[in-house]
Each structure stands twice: as structure tokens, then as C-alpha cells.
Structure 1
Amino acid sequence: MLLILLGVLILHLVILILLIVSTAANAWSVGGDKNKDLWYSCLTTNGGYQCLPASNEDWIQAVQALMILSSLFCFFSLIAFVYQLFRMVKGGRFYFTAIFQVLASLFVMCGAIIYTVMSPDDKFYTDFGYAYVLAWVAFPLCLISGLIYIVLRKK
């Protein structure tokens, strides 16, 4: 049982790191010497690095908010898991933790979908970057983790 709890805890920490990196990294859209993320649009010219704030469009602000919410809910889920691990009666299930984790999963999915649909077709940004991919990787892991918490019992 201890190994299962340790494995779930490590999975949760990995998901939290993925969400934080995908929210903060400057690589949601890449192309040549340009990088674009949720916060800045950066350009490398003549050895210099110039960043401008992201646009004030509603969709990018929605993605920013959803990614921050997903990171916060994942963190709160981790705190709830540790709290329930030590305070819950034997045989209890981690429903509260599972709800927070599933909500984090839904938030990251909605944020990534909005970014996919609404990101402009700019000829300079040809590919989605690693931060975008990390967000999509965090989504199923977060959902699976939430489902594990629903099934998991304290023994």
C-alpha cells in the first residue's frame, strides 16, 4: 500500500510540474527565431532577445486564466491528498482530492482547446511548441490521477 501511495504522490508531483512549466514556458508557438506563449511574444534578432506582451484578446486571457486555475487546483489537490492521508478514517476514499484533480484536468483541456482553435494562423509561427505539448500531456495524466483518487482507499 505504501508503494501505491508513493507512486500516486510522485505522479501528482510530475503533473504539477508539467502544469507549471507549460503555463510559464515561452514556447506555445514557435517558428524560426520567434517564440510565443501565453504571456509574451519574443523575437531573436542580431543576438538580442526582444519580448512584447501578449495580446489583450479575450481568448488568450481565458487560456491564461484556465492554465493558472489548473495549476492551482492541482496544487490544492496535492494539499488535500496529504491532509486526507493523515486525517481520514481507514477505508475512506479520496473524493475531495479527486474532484480537485478532475477539475484541474478539465481546466487544462479547455485552455489547450481554446489555444488550438483561436491561435492565429501567422506565417511566422509554424509549429506548436513544447509547452503546448506539455499541457496536452498533463491533461490525460491529470484525469487518470483523479480517477485513481476516486478508486483509492485509505487502508
Structure 2
Amino acid sequence: MLVLLAFIIVFHITSAALLFIATIDNAWWVGEEFFADVWRVCMNNTNCTEIGDNYADYSTLQAIQATMILSTILCCIAFMIFLLQLFRLKQGDRFVLTSIIQLMSCLCVMIAVSIYTDQRQDLHQKNSEQYYRFTSEGRYGYSFILAWVAFAFTFISGIMYLILRKRK
């Protein structure tokens, strides 16, 4: 049982780390001379521009930012609740609250990445010519892929918490 508990804790911490990296790092959309995410756009690895109100569909990017941040926060809260339930829960009970919060984190990641996938082309085409070339020259970066992996990890851990019973 101790090995299973250690695996679940490591799996949850890995999920949280993936969410932090995917949310913070600037590699959702990359090309030869640029990289971009939902926070800023960098050209030639030196000229970085924050994405602000002047950016077309800024509200869509704010939705992506908010859901990624919310998913990271929910994942951390689920871990803390799991640790509390580990010591407070009666034997034989399930970690339902932890599971619900972790599945909400999973849902937030899925929403953010799905919106980004759907709107990526529109977001960059509506801006100036400088940003238009992102659509044709770029590809999804590792932070975008990590966000999808974090989605899978949070989903799996949410299901694991739902199935897991507290034992001696």
C-alpha cells in the first residue's frame, strides 16, 4: 500500500509540474525565428512583446490564461485535500472530493487547450502582417503538447482518486 501511495503522490506532483510548465513557458506556437504562447510573442529570441489589449481577440487569450491558471490552482488544491483526507478520512472511504477537484482541473486544461487549438489560426491572422506568418510557418510547441499530457495525467489521477479507498 505504501508503494501505491508513493506512486499516486509522485503522479499528482508530476501532473502539477506539467501544468506549471505548460502555463508559464513560452512555447505554445514555435517557428524558426519566433515563439509564442498566451502571454507574449518573441521574435529572434530577443524581441519579446507582451500580448495586451491591442491584440485582436485578447479576450479569448484571457480565457485561455484564466483556465490554465485555474487548472494549476485546482491541481494543487486537490493535492492538499488528498493529504488532508489521507489522515482524516475513515478507513474504507473514497477520496471523492479530491477526485472531483482533480477532474475539474482536467476539465479546465481541456477547455484551455481546445480553445487555443480552435482559435490559434484566427488569433494570429487577425493581427498585423508580422503575426500573420505565424500561421503558415509555425507549429505547436512543447508547452502545448505538455498541456495535453497534463490533461491526460490529471484525468487519470482524478479517476485513480475516485477508485482509491483508504486502507490500513
TM-score, with length taken from structure 1? 0.94
Please, which runs of 5 or more residues in structure 1 have no aligned partner?
A: none
**CA distance in 1: counterparts of 2:2 and 2:46, whole angstroms:** 48
1:50 aligns with 2:47: yes
Q: What corresponds to 1:12 in structure 2?
A: 12
**CA distance in 1: counterparts of 2:84 and 2:19, whole angstroms:** 22
**1:28-63 deviation line (CA, Å, top 9, x unaligned):** 00011101011110111xxx6111112441110000
Q: What corresponds to 1:108 in structure 2?
A: 109
Moved more, 125-134 or 102-111: 125-134
> Could you say which structure has the higher helix fraction?
2
**Matched residue type, 1:91:** G
**Matched residue type, 1:111:** A
Q: What is the SS of the residue equivalent to 2:133?
A: coil
**CA distance in 1: counterparts of 2:24 and 2:148, whole angstroms:** 15
Moved more, 142-151 or 50-59: 50-59
**1:120-150 deviation line (CA, Å, top 9, x unaligned):** 3532351010000000011111101000000
**Matched residue type, 2:158:** G
**Matched residue type, 2:51:** A
CA RMSD of aligned residues (A): 1.1
**CA distance in 2: counterparts of 1:50 and 1:26, whole angstroms:** 13
**Matched residue type, 1:36:** A
**CA distance in 1: counterparts of 2:108 and 2:158, whole angstroms:** 13
Equivalent residues in 2 for 1:47-126 (5 A)?
49-56=46-53, 57-120=58-121, 122-124=132-134, 125-126=137-138
Equivalent residues in 2 for 1:19-30 (5 A)?
19-30=19-30
Percent identical residues: 38
**CA distance in 2: counterparts of 1:55 and 1:99, whole angstroms:** 34
Moved more, 9-18 or 122-131: 122-131
**CA distance in 1: counterparts of 2:22 and 2:61, whole angstroms:** 14
Contact 1:37-1:54 at 8 Å conserved across structures: no
Please, which runs of 5 or more residues in structure 2 have no aligned partner?
A: 126-131
Structure 1 runs of 4+ off > 6 angstroms? none
Equivalent residues in 2 for 1:25-44 (5 A)?
25-44=25-44
Moved more, 123-132 or 21-30: 123-132
